[in-house]
Structure 1
């Protein structure tokens, strides 16, 4: 039998990538935390880590990042250290922080874990990871690394969603309101309502999908990679994410009052009932502007807004992220 005969078939190799991976009982944890969550929260997290991981005799390093611009560098260094010591990289913060840390982990072979400390925590909730540190920290000691799907827009990764148009503007305004009035879901919803009442322009976009080209006029293009979020707004494409797809959502060109009505439908879980919504599932789409193909546009990925040059390629990543999470039955019970 030749070495080629001993190598796994493509289907066998794919099956192995989908199997959970055991974590070494002495694997150290390298925890990257965004200090933007507040000094009190940082102190509480450190105390909880000392109590749970310290008493279990597990080694960990908590690296608190005060400057958001240094978050990617801190995550990259954590990946280097985890790789050298057969450890686990942990992101602590909201979805934006988790995505920044996961971006550094992706492709390294290191397991990734999360301690959710954000407002909505869609990523952790979708995977059954509790928001309470008293429950999420002990999970680090018992969970296996499961492969989970991530998305990309060009070279930028996202865990939950990516968007352009009105949605990034909503996120920018929400951040301004949070700085003035504090972080809460009520403040987030209030800022969204104010933004929707203002005049906004529509985008003309060409979307290439499965060999066909479609032109749309819309206020925003939203691409989802989070079943929980899509279920909450009532999108029928939500279950398709588990089949290795992303979901695209774009409202047709409508006025401000109609836009608010559509948002209310989403808030009550009835978005898919709307007549003025375009939605479909996909593995890859390419988005261009009909007259300015290489223009730069604002794109939001997991709440973080940046400029990206068109064309925009939204796609499912070719390999998964290895996430420490509860087993399927427990994760399903924890989703809320």
Structure 2
């Protein structure tokens, strides 16, 4: 099991500013008007608040890295899982504490780590933790690609049908909005076929034909779908859920049960709990925290206590 230390990382300035990454388009902009109030609540802790400037996802990630390198006292992300994912790349494995304010379409990481779903209530939890100097360690997953590229994620890595649908939707130029995703589901259902996956679970090799493959540090993805229902963010392990040779009809019948996590009782579903998994298949681009990340093959490693939450 890998340990995380603060060695070689910037030290935290106890009286330094709180850096805030805010995505104004998260949740289709429905929480945009809340940002001034959220910043005021953080400023009420007596610390200066620095709103990071970014006009793209890459700029957002770079701004978070720069803030951490400058020695901020904490980093707060206002948005959905995608915003959290960008922020995690900067704070993972460092002593800089982190607070997610759920304001997106999908807020799985924030909710699964115990923050209120209401943004104002969540920022109050973060502000209270800042005043008290209180943090709570949770695990993260570290993703390594074939070329050595590394990414961190907090919730779930999708590497099956859901990842394929996301990839299809991202290539489509029409229709706009959520209907594009619905159309992508229909297209990929028509093309549905099990794919051959090669797994290495804590060193033990296995091959399987599967339609759904997910590696969870946390239970949920996609806005409350409990794909890895038994995942625990403090156990130092990953939950790997594999859905086998589903046909179209069976998949559509099983998919609603993912919201309750009862799909794992289906005879075609297998679950594993491991410290590390190597995952390979042809033609799959993975999605972590809802964000496009790396092509298979990848290695996913559980890293205990890789993040300090303001909670």
Question: Normalised by the shorter chain, which TM-score bucket?
Answer: 0.7 to 0.9
Question: 1:226, CA displacement in angstroms?
Answer: 1.3
Aligned to 1:272: 264
Paired with 1:91 and 1:246, the residues of 2 have a C-alpha distance of 24
Q: Which runs of 5+ in 2 are unaligned?
A: 7-11, 145-149
How many residues align? The count is: 294
Label 1:33 to 1:209 Cα distance change in 2 as closer, same or farther (>3 A): same
What corresponds to 2:36 in structure 1? 47
Tell me how far apart the structure 2 counterparts of residues 247 and 158 of structure 1 sit (CA, whole Å).
Answer: 14
CA separation of 1:299/1:51 partners in 2, compared to 1, >3 Å: closer, same or farther?
same
Secondary structure of 2:267 counterpart: coil
**Structure 2 residue aligned with 1:71:** 60
Task: Give the CA deviation at 1:121.
Answer: 0.8
Trace 1:1-336 onto structure 2 (pairs within 5 A): 26-37=15-26, 43-81=32-70, 83=71, 85=72, 87-143=73-129, 144-154=134-144, 155-172=150-167, 182=177, 190=182, 194=186, 197-227=189-219, 238=230, 242-289=234-281, 297-308=284-295, 310=297, 312-325=298-311
Change in Cα spacing, 1:234 to 1:272, as seen in structure 2 (3 Å) is farther
Distance in 2 (CA, whole Å) between partners of 1:96 and 1:210 is 29
Cα distance in 2 for residues equivalent to 1:26 and 1:253: 55
Root-mean-square deviation (Å): 3.4
TM-score scaled by length of structure 1 = 0.75
Once the two structures are superposed, residues 67-114 of structure 1 have per-residue CA deviations (whole angstroms, 9 ceiling, x without a partner) of 223121111112122x1x5x1111121112101111111123211111
Whether the 8 Å contact between 1:233 and 1:270 is mirrored in structure 2 is no
| Alpha carbons of structure 1 residues 39 and 56: separation in structure 2 relative to 1, 3 Å | farther
Judge conservation of contact 2:220–2:229 (CA < 8 Å) in 1. Answer: no
Runs of 5+ in structure 1 lacking a partner?
A: 1-12, 18-22, 290-294, 326-336
Kindly indicate whether the alpha-carbon contact (under 8 Å) linking 1:91 and 1:98 is maintained by their aligned counterparts in 2: yes
2:197 & 2:228 partners in 1: Cα distance? 23
In the TM superposition, what is the alpha-carbon distance from 1:197 to its structure 2 partner? Answer: 3.3
Q: Secondary structure at the match of 1:238?
A: coil
Distance 1:178 1:125 in 2: 31
| 8 Å Cα contact 2:98-2:307 kept in structure 1 | yes
Identify, as 1 or 2, the structure richer in helix.
1
Distance 2:259 2:93 in 1: 36
Would you say the 8 A contact 1:33–1:62 is kept in 2? yes
SS of 2:273 mapped into structure 1: strand
Q: Is the 8 A contact 1:146 1:322 kept in 2?
A: yes
C-alpha spacing 1:65/1:42, structure 2 compared with 1 (3 Å): farther
Q: Which has the larger radius of gyration?
A: 1
Measured at CA, do residues 227 and 309 of structure 1 come closer, stay the same or move farther in structure 2, by a change above 3 Å? closer
Tell me: CA distance 1:101–1:178, structure 2 relative to 1, closer, same or farther (3 Å).
farther
CA contact (8 A) 1:244 1:283 kept: yes
Helix, strand or coil: the match of 2:64?
A: helix
Q: Is the 8 A contact 1:48 1:133 kept in 2?
A: no
